[in-house]
Structure 1
Amino acid sequence: MQVQLETLSGLERRMSIALPLAAIDAQVAERLKRVARTAKIQGFRPGKAPAKIVEANYGAQVREEVLGEQVQQSFYKAAVEQKLRVAGYPRFEPAEGDAENFKFAAAFEVYPEITIGELAGKEIEKPNTEVTDAEIDKTVDILRKQRTRFNRVERAAADGDRVIIDFKGTIDGVAFEGGSSENFPFMLGQGQMLPEFEAGIIGAAEGETKTVAVNFPADYHGKDVAGKTASFDITVKNVAAAELPEVNEEFAKLLGIADGDVAKMRAEIRKNVEREVKRRLSAQVKENVMQALIDVTPIDLPKALVELEVGRLMDQARKDLEQRGMQLKDMPLPADLFTQQAERRVALGLILAEVVEANKLEAKPEQVKALVEEFAESYEQPQDVIDWYYAEAGRLEGPTSMVLEDNVVEFVLGRANVIQKDVSFETLMGNNA
């Protein structure tokens, strides 16, 4: 086998390989002998057809198979001998051979050489959030609101009430799409409807009908009605006042505290809130560390790896959208939408692999076990969750990857300039608390 390697540009390489035809012919002949033992050819019993007849029927197919195998095997053997780390899949191209050799070329990319940049002067923000009794109180209030009861009342509707209405809207006397509904429920005072619409209902009692003029904003999402004035005939069919459950034994039992102990309930809520705060803080600091590594480590990305990642992201997005009921047959997803994300993921994958290998940050079994046990804490039967993870080795891939990332985070934080920053509970939780 003759091999010639050339650098095209950056990470791109081209390898020209010549394989002796005599060796290929010998392999073809040997395989045809094996085929002849079972070949079914009209007019001959299996295994009794003459060699020339077998070659006439199967020769081209067998030669194509042998050449395909030899191209693959010889390329990867040459890559190993040349100490090349091939990124993605090579593109094989035929080349003009001669009487003694079969020749082909392979165009491919190699993995970049990575040198992690200096971290000592890099500032990395590390957020901190304290969970106080006030945060537990807010969480309890959220849990109460999620269990709100609505009781019918015989009075005029007010902010905070749930109303059920029929309405029909017209613009210049003509009904418009989406402007009518029956038995439509919503909460007053929460901005679910336009302010003028809600204002027209406040003060109306069950059974009352009103006509309300509503001005749609110029930037309203419905282009057909944006900037126009509509007239709505509204009939109030039900007014119900919200009643939040008391924080008592019954409420504690609703949240899974068997004996109804409110103190135990608050302790369990604190535990869950602190777990979620820890998760979000870890995610933020991990994101900051990953960005710092990208910032200090310039890297050439193999196009082949980026294209593969774009394909994976597109498939994932397509599946997500289809699960939501969207039909994508006539709506292709542009690859450009995913390129930037794909480049970042490929860069991080290469950088993290280098950091882990260079600094021996491999995930230890006890670290993986500790993380799995932490996962299991939020379930009613933690041991069942732990047993599930350890029932098959493949199930530990996720926790193992997370431990590797955590090891990298600790490594980087130990070398960078860490800036502690207090973050409010509301900000951390996305104002959903």
Structure 2
Amino acid sequence: MQVTVENVSELGRRMTVTVEDANIEQAVQDRLKSIRPNVKMAGFRPGKVPMNMVAKTHGPSARREVIDSLVQESMREAFTQEGINPASPPHIDSMDEKGSNFIYTLNYEVFPEVDNVKLDDINLEKTVAEVTDEDVDRMLETLREQRMTWEPLKRGAKDGDGVTIDFVGTIDGEEFQGGKGQDVLLELGQGRMLPEFEEQLIGKKADQEVDVTLTFPEDYRAEHLQGKEAKFAVTVKQVAKKKLPKLDKEFAALCGVEEGIAALKKKFALIWNVNLSLH
């Protein structure tokens, strides 16, 4: 195998690899013979499809596999031979078969050379942070939020509740793109929908239908809706409130600590302190 390397930029390199006596055609024939027993074709028993028909249907893919394998193997060998550790994935630029030889070129980048750096006069400032009980409590609340469930209610919806709705929006009696939804869980007061939409769901109960009318803002993200009045036929399927898990031994176990909440807090503080020290 012959390898030549040329500089094309400060960090860019082009490598040309010549694999002598590549025997691609023989490798392709060997590949086709190996897959022939599994080739299925109407009118022939498995393993009895003529080789010329196997070559016609599977020849191109077999050639690609042979060449891909040849390139990958020879590329690794070329980099090892030249003592090169590329900084970027190599990109194949060209491939050519000349007689029994296979020649290809590839482009890649190398790492820059770094001169010796003197650190004697450099002053470093270490940042020290303290993990407080309040920090740990906030982390626990975040974990509770991640594991919360919704408890169905019979009363009307209010801010903070979750309402599950179906809705169909129309403008001038015609449905419009993006104006329809099914089983959408909307937490009131979070600003997921326009305030006008959410406000008209306040007080509504499960299994109640309501017509919501609103005007899209002039700067609404969907240009085709800007400034237009829309009507929504909304069905409230469920009203529910958040139910957070208790901070007990069972919750600690869900977080991977069997010893209870005190041990969970201690683990959080320890991990947090380690992370801060690493930074």
TM-score (norm 2): 0.55
Give the superposition deviation at 1:235: 1.9
Give the superposition deviation at 1:113: 5.0
The residue that corresponds to 1:355 in the other structure is none
Which residue identity is paired with 2:264? M
| Local SS of the residue matching 1:224 | helix
1:231 equivalent in alignment to 2:231: yes
The residue that corresponds to 2:100 in the other structure is none
- The answer to whether the Cα contact below 8 Å between 1:166 and 1:181 also exists between their aligned partners in 2 is yes
- Higher helix content, 1 or 2: 1
| Local SS of the residue matching 2:212 | strand
The residue that corresponds to 1:194 in the other structure is 194
1:269 equivalent in alignment to 2:268: yes
- CA 1:117/1:201 → structure 2, altered by over 3 Å: closer, same or farther? same
- CA 1:230/1:113 → structure 2, altered by over 3 Å: closer, same or farther? same
The residue that corresponds to 1:210 in the other structure is 210
1:245-324 mapped onto 2 (5 Å cutoff): 245-258=245-258, 261-275=260-274, 277-278=275-276, 282=278
| Local SS of the residue matching 2:268 | helix
Give the superposition deviation at 1:169: 0.7
- CA 1:222/1:13 → structure 2, altered by over 3 Å: closer, same or farther? closer
| Local SS of the residue matching 1:185 | strand
Flag structure 1 segments of 5+ consecutive residues without an equivalent.
1-5, 15-27, 29-75, 93-107, 286-433
Give the superposition deviation at 1:186: 2.2
How far does the alpha carbon of each residue in 1:15-65 deviate from its partner, in whole angstroms, 9 at most, with x for none? xxxxxxxxxxxxx9xxxxxxxxxxxxxxxxxxxxxxxxxxxxxxxxxxxxx
- The answer to whether the Cα contact below 8 Å between 2:249 and 2:258 also exists between their aligned partners in 1 is no
- The answer to whether the Cα contact below 8 Å between 2:152 and 2:238 also exists between their aligned partners in 1 is yes
Number of aligned residue pairs: 196
1:265-414 mapped onto 2 (5 Å cutoff): 265-275=264-274, 277-278=275-276, 282=278
Which residue identity is paired with 1:191? G
Give the superposition deviation at 1:117: 5.5
The residue that corresponds to 2:67 in the other structure is none
Identity in percent: 38
The residue that corresponds to 2:162 in the other structure is 162
How far does the alpha carbon of each residue in 1:241-291 deviate from its partner, in whole angstroms, 9 at most, with x for none? 1121222233334334435x331232233334444x33xx74xx5xxxxxx
Flag structure 2 segments of 5+ consecutive residues without an equivalent.
1-5, 15-20, 22-77, 95-107
Rounded to whole Å, the distance in 1 between the matches of 2:12 and 2:163 is 66
Rounded to whole Å, the distance in 2 between the matches of 1:231 and 1:178 is 13
How far does the alpha carbon of each residue in 1:295-349 deviate from its partner, in whole angstroms, 9 at most, with x for none? xxxxxxxxxxxxxxxxxxxxxxxxxxxxxxxxxxxxxxxxxxxxxxxxxxxxxxx
How far does the alpha carbon of each residue in 1:163-195 deviate from its partner, in whole angstroms, 9 at most, with x for none? 111111112222111211222212112222222
Rounded to whole Å, the distance in 2 between the matches of 1:12 and 1:232 is 59
Which residue identity is paired with 1:193? M
The residue that corresponds to 1:150 in the other structure is 150
- The answer to whether the Cα contact below 8 Å between 1:86 and 1:109 also exists between their aligned partners in 2 is no
- CA 1:154/1:120 → structure 2, altered by over 3 Å: closer, same or farther? same
| Local SS of the residue matching 1:164 | strand
Return 152-161 or 186-195, whichever deviates more: 186-195
| Local SS of the residue matching 1:271 | helix
Rounded to whole Å, the distance in 2 between the matches of 1:227 and 1:115 is 62
- The answer to whether the Cα contact below 8 Å between 1:169 and 1:231 also exists between their aligned partners in 2 is yes
- The answer to whether the Cα contact below 8 Å between 1:85 and 1:111 also exists between their aligned partners in 2 is no
Rounded to whole Å, the distance in 1 between the matches of 2:182 and 2:85 is 63
Which residue identity is paired with 2:177? E
Rounded to whole Å, the distance in 2 between the matches of 1:178 and 1:246 is 39
Which residue identity is paired with 1:267? K
Give the superposition deviation at 1:12: 8.9
| Local SS of the residue matching 2:115 | coil
Give the superposition deviation at 1:150: 1.7
The residue that corresponds to 1:100 in the other structure is none
Rounded to whole Å, the distance in 1 between the matches of 2:12 and 2:164 is 66
- CA 1:109/1:240 → structure 2, altered by over 3 Å: closer, same or farther? closer
- The answer to whether the Cα contact below 8 Å between 1:206 and 1:237 also exists between their aligned partners in 2 is yes
Give the superposition deviation at 1:138: 0.5
1:57-206 mapped onto 2 (5 Å cutoff): 114-116=114-116, 127-206=127-206
Rounded to whole Å, the distance in 2 between the matches of 1:267 and 1:223 is 52
RMSD: 4.2
The residue that corresponds to 1:368 in the other structure is none
Which residue identity is paired with 1:230? A
TM-score (norm 1): 0.37
Give the superposition deviation at 1:229: 3.0
Which residue identity is paired with 1:266? K
Which residue identity is paired with 1:228? K
Rounded to whole Å, the distance in 2 between the matches of 1:147 and 1:111 is 46
- CA 1:118/1:167 → structure 2, altered by over 3 Å: closer, same or farther? same
- The answer to whether the Cα contact below 8 Å between 2:157 and 2:163 also exists between their aligned partners in 1 is yes
Rounded to whole Å, the distance in 2 between the matches of 1:240 and 1:173 is 32
- The answer to whether the Cα contact below 8 Å between 1:165 and 1:235 also exists between their aligned partners in 2 is yes
Rounded to whole Å, the distance in 2 between the matches of 1:183 and 1:109 is 52
The residue that corresponds to 1:20 in the other structure is none
Rounded to whole Å, the distance in 1 between the matches of 2:224 and 2:244 is 40
Which residue identity is paired with 2:148? T
